A and B are shown apart, each in its own frame.
Chain A
Amino acid sequence: MNDTQDQQQLQALRDFFFAQNAAQLSDAYAALDEAVSIDLPKVDDWEAVEFAFNRLFVGPKALIAPPFASVYLEPEPQVMGKSTLISRQIFEMLGVQSPWQGTLPDDHLSLELDACIRLSAVRQAGDSPEVEDLWSYFLQAHLDQWLPSWINRVRSAEQLPPAIHTVTDILAAWLADEMRDLKSTEPSIGL
């Protein structure tokens, strides 16, 4: 996968997990289909996917897999924890902030994927060891610390629509690829 495809895939993943309704889910899914080499499962009933998506990530019932990092990173699961502020700090280092700051936790999966997109663009624009360190930190010390738990929760949900399962798998594969890349460039004494 080249850098452009990688960016398109991340954007589609970001938009999928930020969707507010069936139409937005469907649009993001179509964009993802364009960006990946595999064929995504065909969806006949986007409304059913929307219902399942809301059960997992939106509500109103207690969420099966809350898409907020601090729920997985804090010793006592909650949103707006200390780890949420780490995301906010990383955004600040990139000169951006969430327009929903203070209302939507900054460590919502899609906001973090958006930061990844931005950080990738910055990495491509120049060769800075500080930027590489920030990327390694964000991936290794943050995303990889919570996303696997979140992915497990999604995958083990009952009656999970194949579309959500596949999109989650793509996200999991992206994370695994990036972690592999990082490890291949790191010295052997790691974390």
Chain B
Amino acid sequence: MDKLKQKKMEKTLSCNSSRRRFLQGLLATGALATMPIGLLQPMLAEAKELFSDADYQIFRNACPRNCFDSCSLKTFVKDGVVEFVEGSPESTYTAGGLCVKGYSYPRRVYSPDRIKYPMVQVGRGSGNWKRVSWEEAIDRIAQKILKIKELDGNLLGLGLDKYSGNFGITHYGVEGMMSSLGYTTRFAGTPCWPAGIDAQNYDMGDMWTNDPEDMVKSKYIIVWGGNPAWCSVHSMKYIYEARRKGAKLVVIDPVLTQTAAKADLYIRPHTSTDGALALGMARHLIDKGMVDQEFVSKHAVGFDAFKKYLKEKVSVEWAAAETGVSAAMIRHLAEEFATADPATIWIGYGMQRHANGGSMVRAIDALVAMTGNIGKEGGGARYGHLRTWGFNYNAMVMSPPEGSKGIVGGGPAKGDFHFGGDEATTYSNRNFNMNQAARDILAQKESPLRMLWVACRNPMSQNQNTALMKKAYDSIEAVVVVDQFFTKTVEQADIVLPHTTLFEEYNVNVGYWHYWMALNEQAIKPMYEAKSDVQIAALLSARMNKLAPGSCTFPLETDTRVWMEKEFNQGIHDLFGIKSWKDLKKGPKKAKLASSASWHDRKFKTPSGKYEFFSSLAAEHGHAALPEYRPKRAATAPLRVITPHSKFSLHSQFQNLDYMADFNPEPFVYVHPTTAAAKGIADGQQVRVFNSLGEVRLKARLTGNVPTQVLVMYEQWFKDSNFLVQKIIDDTPADMGAYKTGAPGTAVHDQFADIEKA
């Protein structure tokens, strides 16, 4: 075919009227009458306009991932295909921009790697998969559930492991699906932020943070154990603006992060000694009389006891020895922080993922409180909030079928995102600790976990101690995983079900950092045979009731828009100043706040109603009543290992996409040159990082950005690699978390290993 003809054909193809003329010509000759019957079907009368000459259709979407920024998106669709996404300009927080992960969303929808169909693995881990219909997959699942009920007389043998892979409100329908079947086993707790949640609850009675947008009012910002330049890029503009107006940015972190690189002052305490640093600063402020007397006397209880503790147990020199930060620097930092008005500390989640993490958050809270910065715009001990999450949880709250049996006297359910009622019931679910799931699964002898449903999670790559997790999975009779990609957990599934992306379903999203709410509209048809969690639950319910009438109470509704609509209530309408969810079609809305400061009225939710330097509740729960120093975890191997978040992934999501693989094709262990030299390790050399749990093999990257004696590996899932950092991370708990989330947090940055050339 010559170039001229090819060009002509391309013109014909791209022009609606030319294609139609061509077709009319064929129809006129009668040539189409001979067309055989095949896969393609005669064009539907209503589908005459397959291609639109019109501009893009624009949809509202919301990134549902577990991220500070919870962005609102504008999605541009043409001919039924998502062409690109932008950050919503209507949200002053998202402000028209996305992070590298957000911009990659079309790559996620249209990755050839997506799980496309329900499939059954013949021999777990064998890689031998059969494609089955949804009907067959759901029938197998329903039959298994009924078998468990028949064998055990209850459904405690059915477990749910679900967390933050999708924070869309209707996705609590997964929990609803379980409740609609009966009393089951739930993996309680959160691997994310529980120690800090408890700490803030002891101090203030709730976790509540200032609006991040009010950081522009701050005169002094300490980012302590967090890396917003990677993990909350939209917050950085407020920090920059504050700096432009004269504020100072201090970053305290064992790693010289991207955020630290932008700071005016970077402080590197020894890992896990942040509490000592905060207490040392507090002691200095006592010595200098730089305490906000009005706050500590009027709005707080227990300050005298705290002062006494500091005077007796803490000195600046002690803090310097403990942290490795000079006494002069501790004094300087304390004085600058106390003098600036307002001053704020952003308490990163990484900082509390230590065996003494909760106590460190309490010490930092105390520092912010004693300087009078709690309840102040531009101030605050910033951690997180759930103030905008007052939805109906219509998909989550389901009654068990009549006659269901469960745990007697188990008490109400707990969890960071648990929004169900706390009323006492005769029976309850059985709770396993999400962060020690393997231990709990293996410990059951009389009532074993027979079947596990995994949704919005990838525990085989994200839970600590991979070998123990594998052993636990091996003890389970049936594993069902709902996902978009073939993760390490799907590898260990018997049945995998394909899940929709955000563009293929309706939903509504809010954040735990900012105060915006965003609508998530269905922008395209679900690719292949993907279904949303609520649709899967409805299918299962239909099958269960067909096989055993009355065995499942989940509604048969499969329209995700209906599910989304049912989440709204007057409280949400009032908070966001909307009349209906439809108002969100014009763009995301921000909650109407009396003040951008949390605790602006100084009415705390503690038992005393005041800020509690001394918390009797903490003491009741087995902790120190005061924010006392809790020593760091004793080493179990020569070098410390920390496993922070990568820029290119959100836990095990995103890194598998081609855009990310281009920039970050393989994992590295980051080693200080001094440590590397002692081990004879050169940059780029293959090494093994090992401890009593196992080993990982990867290349070493030598950098002074990490301290000596500390190895840094980012927690990520690379699709074509066996690298899993959790192979050498144990399930040691953080000190706090059980009070509000049902289980203590994880000490994933309190880990130890050795390194050598591979």
Contacts and interface: CB of A to CB of B under 8 A. Distances in A.
A99 B42 CA distance: 9
A103 B43 CA distance: 16
A11 interface: yes
A101 B49 CA distance: 13
B301 to A, nearest CB: 56
Interface residues of A, number: 71
Contact of A63 (B13, B19, B113, B491): B113
Interface in A123-142: 124-126, 128, 130-131, 133-134, 136-137, 140-141
B36 interface: yes
B618 to A, nearest CB: 47
B468 interface: no
Given A60-B119, A122-B35, A137-B9, A96 B40 contact: yes
Contacts of B109: 80
Contacts of B528: 103-104
Most chain A C-beta atoms within 10 Å of own C-beta, residue among B1, B3, B23, B25: B1
Contact of B122 (A51, A134, A182, A186): A51
Contact of A118 (B29, B40, B111, B719): B40
A141 B34 contact: no
Contacts of B44: 97
Interface string B391-411: 000000000000000000000
B669 to A, nearest CB: 25
A76 interface: yes
Contacts of A55: 127, 129
B140 interface: no
A77 B3 CA distance: 25
Interface in A68-114: 68, 71, 76-81, 84-86, 88-99, 101-104, 110-111, 114
Given A94-B32, A130-B25, A190 B2 contact: yes
Interface stretch (B164-172, B352-360, B519-527): B519-527
Nearest to A63: B112
Contacts of A182: 1
Interface string A22-57: 000000000000000000000000010011001100
A78 B110 contact: yes
A22 B9 CA distance: 40
B151 interface: no
Contacts of A89: 13-14, 19, 50-51
A187 B2 contact: yes
A74 to B, nearest CB: 9
A148 B719 CA distance: 26
A150 B227 CA distance: 43
Contact of A186 (B2, B41, B658): B2
B110 A58 contact: no
Most chain B C-beta atoms within 10 Å of own C-beta, residue among A51, A110, A117, A187: A51
Contacts of A122: 26, 31-32, 34-35
A5 interface: no
Contacts of B526: 103
A96 B1 contact: no
B40 A115 contact: yes
A137 B50 CA distance: 21
B658 A76 contact: yes
A98 B115 contact: no
Given A60-B129, A102-B525, A96 B43 contact: yes
Contact of B116 (A58, A80, A140): A58
A60 B8 CA distance: 40
Nearest to A18: B39
B719 A98 contact: no
Contacts of A101: 47, 50, 80
B34 A121 contact: yes
Closest A-B pairs by Cβ, 10 of them: A66-B112, A96-B40, A62-B113, A102-B525, A125-B31, A78-B110, A51-B128, A137-B9, A136-B1, A114-B38
Interface of A: 7, 11, 14, 18, 20-21, 47, 50-51, 54-55, 58-63, 66, 68, 71, 76-81, 84-86, 88-99, 101-104, 110-111, 114-115, 117-118, 121-122, 124-126, 128, 130-131, 133-134, 136-137, 140-141, 182, 186-187, 189-191
6 contacts: A11-B36, A78-B112, A97-B44, A104-B527, A122-B32, A130-B22
